Amino acid sequence: MSAVCSIPTSSSPNLKYRRVLLKISGEALMGPREFGLDPDTVARIADDVKQAVDMGVQVCIVVGAGNIFRGVSGASDGMDRTTADHMGMLGIVINALCLQNALEKINIKTRVQSAISMDQICEPYIRRRAMRHMEKGRVVIFAAGTGNPYFTSDTGASLRASEMNCDLIAKGTKVNGIYTADPFKDPEAKKYDKLAYMDILTKDLKVMDATAVSLARENKIPVMVFSIREQGNFAKVLRGEGEFTIVTDEK
């Protein structure tokens, strides 16, 4: 008999963010490996998501594919950009299915919805169906980006967060926020606690591409950048604890 997921009947009144899109890079799923998927890392991230769900947060996820194939890199090596981007979208589907498997192993019901139709593997992306899944306590993983070439997974995250009426885009990275420079390369780099959307563009901070930032700004969705490498950090930053950088409207 299969285990049944406990569906939160109501959100905590203290929750600031009730519906959150978690953006995870493909590289975050590699763990200590140089490419591919690390099962232990994927399982840890799944447990982090479970903690947020258990708090009563409605969660949807967008994952990248940099651990498998990156369209821009393929194009720079002489491959047709559209073909390369489509390959990257398929890589995202692989990562989404892996994350779904890890979540369901710990009794979190999930749905994978793909922007490219592949009915034998997952659902097609249907906005109202996705929202209903989240209302029922299921985690929805959006795969295949926007379904179009020339758009990054960050843009896909901003687009889906806007469509889902999310309160926050939580971007899990390898560092605990946004810095003036790469802290792994520059020991003098300083961390920002708070930024405006325009700061990302004018300072060329390369946290998200310009289209993704503009979409979040237009729809007034805050972007929180935090470290996905620290166990339990996702739930922690949703409670306003730990270290992170928040990107909001200039006001």
Domains of the chain: 19-248 (3.40.1160.10)
pLDDT per position as a tens digit, 144-172 = 999 999 999 999 999 999 999 999 999 99
DSSP labels for 205-251?
A: --SS-HHHHHHHHHTT--EEEEESSSTTHHHHHHTT-SS-EEEE---
**Residue 114: how many other CB atoms lie within 10 Å:** 24
pLDDT on residue 72: 77
Asked if residues 126 and 113 have their Cβ atoms less than 8 Å apart, the reply is yes
Average pLDDT, the chain: 92
pTM, whole model, 2 decimals? 0.92
Q: How confident is the model at residue 251 (pLDDT cuts 50, 70, 90)?
A: low
* Residue 2 pLDDT > 70: no
pLDDT per position as a tens digit, 107-147 = 999 999 999 999 999 999 999 999 999 999 999 999 999 99
Residue in this structure with the two tokens 């209903």, named with its chain if needed: 132
pLDDT on residue 7: 47
| Residue length of the chain | 251
DSSP labels for the chain?
A: ----PPPPSS--TT-S-SEEEEEE-GGGGTTTSSSS--HHHHHHHHHHHHHHHHTT-EEEEEE--TTT--HHHHHHTT--HHHHHHHHHHHHHHHHHHHHHHHHHTT--EEEEESS--TTTSEEP-HHHHHHHHHTT-EEEEESTTSSTT--HHHHHHHHHHHTT-SEEEEEESSSSEESS-TTT-TT--EESEEEHHHHHHTT--SS-HHHHHHHHHTT--EEEEESSSTTHHHHHHTT-SS-EEEE---
Higher pLDDT: 90 or 11? It is 90
Residue in this structure with the two tokens 């795969």, named with its chain if needed: 143
% of the chain exceeding 90 in pLDDT: 85
